Amino acid sequence: MNELHIVNLKIKMKHRFFHLLSIFFIILFTFSFSGVQKMNNEQSENENLLKVSGDQIVNQKGETIILRGFGLGGMLHMENFIDGYPSNEESMREGLLKVLGKKKYDLYFDNFLKSYFTEADAEYIHSLGLNLVRIPINYHLFEDDMNPGVIKEEAFKYLDNVIDLCAKHQIYTIIDLHALPGCQNQHWHSDNPTQKAFFWVYKDFQNRALHLWEVIADHYKDQPWVAGYDLINEPADPTGEKVFPYYKRLYDAVKKVDPNHIMFLEGDRYAKDFSKFTEVWDNVVYTNHDYAFPGFTGDYPGEINGKYYDKNILEKEFLEKSEFMLKNKVPIWVGEFGPVYTNDPEKDETRYRVLKDQLAYYDKYKVSWCIWLYKDLGLQAIIHQKEDTPYMKLVSSFLKKKDYLGADAWGSSDKNIRQVMEPIEELFKKEFPDYNPYPSGQERHIALLVRHILIAEALVPEYCNLFKGLSDEELISIAQSFRFENYVKRQRLENILTGKE
């Protein structure tokens, strides 16, 4: 009996041993398989990291990647014609903070930023067969002027969300520093309330921007779906001497933090002038902005202001802007281009013809491109907000007044206030015939100072007061007007960008 019991016990122990052994091997196999799968996923992800090879952008497998997509203006860097307010972003935000108070101000902008780019936006861009979103950002997103160099706790919250959504849908992103401390150019789109680009005057501003890029590069150095860093949007140094040396400082600093991502360098004088660029650096893409004059006014083909424009002229001008890149056999990225639209079918047909000709020569020279713009209120983007949203109902009358006064530089004119502008223009022609202010001469400088600064600044309180007394629920509803489902597609533009016509 005892011997039989011992034998049975041994058999049971043997079975238990083999059972435990089998469980061990199952667990080992599972972990090994998941580890291999994780390694394969990481390897696959890393293959998407882009780099420069000769005159092309390629992935880690050596496949040429042509980047084509949209600029996401109006979100992490806001602009007046895109979002509806007058003047520059900082002035508008200061006004809204005063009207709403801190709690409601934060509530509104949190919901605005959560609404502006969602999964529906990423799905739509992917459905078009496009693979790029350029994300303009404002340095104020990361630091306060009264606390320079100290990065805000939630600085990356909204930017991370856009990048992650794009990555999920196999869309590359380029981070574009659109507004730098001190302002890198003379206009509203660098969040500049003046006509001076103080960034090029004070080294402190330059040091702050360098530190900011070190922080951004460190944060995204392991994200393969970030195509790279657009270091300065449209720099404009009146001396023409400071942009390239500063790029060298930025390039060296960022490369120490992140040696793998591409850096995108724009030419001086609003991304058009590379004459002072004396070297070509590794893993750099040089970028111009190719706004064609007939995309804004006049007949095409035809004569505008005494100059004839057709496809050959536009291509010639593009090649002149790209001379540095072609000469040095490096990639070209057109970081911004695109006409504005009028809702006049005949005029807009002209604008679409300009766009098609531009896309044809981009394809001819195998250049990457990023059209300006993805979202707005109806002037330029592929989708624009419906007229019956809570936000449009709030601001529609104000938008008409702003347009009547020609306050925005982009898309408005002074036709209704010529009685104000003309005497000033005539005075300057008579008394200061040799006055030629940087960057665009007398008339445009007067327009900047009178319309886009003085009149625009005076309109800011009127815009901000539209938000006075609104409840939390109303503010949330207004902010959510910027969600994808509240926009209308510009179907003709979609057809052209997707090659359907």
Strand pairing of 56-58 and 68-71? unpaired
For the chain, how are helix, strand and coil distributed in percent, rounded to 5? 50, 15, 35
Nearest to 74 by CA among 296, 373, 335, 451: 373
Nearest to 288 by CA among 250, 258, 319, 312: 319
Torsion from C-alpha of 295, 297, 300, 304, nearest 10 degrees: -130
Q: Which of 79, 89, 234, 266 is catalytic?
A: 234
Catalytic-residue membership of 387: no
Helices 390-404 and 456-465: angle between axes, nearest 10 degrees: 160
Q: Is 488 left (phi over 0), alpha (psi -120 to 50) or beta?
A: beta
**CA atoms of 146 and 379, how far apart (whole Å):** 35
**CA atoms of 213 and 219, how far apart (whole Å):** 10
Strand pairing of 368-371 and 332-336? parallel
Name the maximum alpha-carbon separation found in the chain.
126
Tokens found for residue 187 = 């206009």
**CA atoms of 18 and 1, how far apart (whole Å):** 26
| Sequence-distant (≥ 6) Cβ neighbours of residue 431 within 8 angstroms | none
Helices 89-116 and 472-479: angle between axes, nearest 10 degrees: 80
**CA atoms of 480 and 483, how far apart (whole Å):** 6
Q: Which of 336, 426, 443, 474 is catalytic?
A: 336
Catalytic-residue membership of 474: no
Active site residues: 234, 336
